Amino acid sequence: MGPRLGEVLETARVVSLPLRSRFRGLDHREAMLFEGPAGWTEFSPFVEYDDAESAAWLAAALDFGWRDAPAPRRDSVRVNATVPAVPAAEVEGILAHFPGCRTAKVKVAERGQSLADDVARVAAARTALGPEGRVRVDANGAWNVDEAEHAVHALAEFDLEYVEQPCATVEELGELRRRVKYMGIPIAADESVRKAEDPLAVARAGAADILVLKAQPLGGIARALSIVREAGLPAVISSALDTSVGISMGLHLAAALPDLEFDCGLGTAALLAVDVTDDPLLPRAGQLPVRRVAAQPELLHEFAAPPERADWWFARLERCWELVG
């Protein structure tokens, strides 16, 4: 049995956390947190997401707060650094917040920027990591097939581990994969999984080599694990700019996977200037421990969202509650 709405509202708090650098057009990250019998949990779909999409995030939050996570197969998870679409000169400073990380995911295809900006940023990441490091890029579906093919050629000299969601649709991903397969650069799907009515369609179409999975938007750990089993592709577990509470959910998902070939995108608490705990999940020696995180009342109070924003989140929670059923 899940909780009653009243139980969730009792402990629910909304925070607005400043970021170290602008990311996805945001300077602050808003999130709602509440505590269940299994521990603190997080409901934080981005504000532009509609209620139907956001309901899966609520289902995940309720699952993590009211049910025990699967037994872990590992007690720590290697994570990648995440480089926002910053000028190349800032890349080394960003990477300093991810000590010991051997992999960097670099954001590309930012609106208002050029491919030359992307090349300079990826080059800076490669220089900082050295030849032994791993560099992957994420376009968030912003390129068409021709643009993506051109970009892959331009970035190939930096020995890419993979290209994440270069195009928006499954059909485009499949076409791009056919065009660049001879280059040996894998295609990873993120939005084509978490935003799709059928998250397995991209695997069935042979349009990706790797799946990037996030626990919240997929409705929780159990559903994400079932997608990995059915897809039969290697998975990278990532976050959605969560607080350390949400990162903990992703870590428990990563820890439950039978195989974990790639470093995971769960180090993003390092992009936050503050967190909801004074013991945040920050990379040390390129890894994160698999553990639950308790939100601290004084930090929930200090970084509480303005009343009008909190009201917006509570209204959203109640609407999504009706959809979760």
Q: What is the DSSP letter of 267?
A: -
Return the structure tokens found at 76. Answer: 């720590």
Cβ neighbours around 227 below 10 Å, total: 19
User: Please, is 125 exposed, middle or buried when counting C-beta atoms within 10 Å of its C-beta (0-12, 13-18, 19+)?
Assistant: buried
Q: Name the catalytic one among 105, 107, 181, 195.
A: 107
Active site residue 214: yes
Return the structure tokens found at 105. Answer: 């995911």
Q: Would you say the C-alpha torsion 193, 138, 18, 284 has a positive or negative sign? A: positive
Rounded Cα–Cα distance for residues 236 and 227 (Å): 12
138 annotated to a ligand binding site:
yes
Q: Strand, coil or helix: what is 42?
A: strand
190 annotated to a ligand binding site:
yes
Question: CA 185, 222, 142: angle at the middle one, nearest 5?
Answer: 35
Rounded Cα–Cα distance for residues 310 and 113 (Å): 33
Active site residue 195: no
Return the structure tokens found at 309. Answer: 């924003």
b/e string for 95-104 if b means 16 or more Cβ within 10 A?
bebbeebbbb
E strand or H helix that includes residue 36: strand 26-36
Return the structure tokens found at 97. Answer: 């917040």
Q: Name the catalytic one among 105, 181, 195, 214.
A: 214
Measuring CA to CA, which residue among 230, 285, 225, 295 is closest to residue 31? 295
Query: Could you tell me which residues are annotated as the binding site for Mg(2+)?
Result: 138, 164, 190
Query: Could you tell me which residues are annotated as the binding site?
Result: 138, 164, 190
By annotation, the residues acting in catalysis are 107, 214
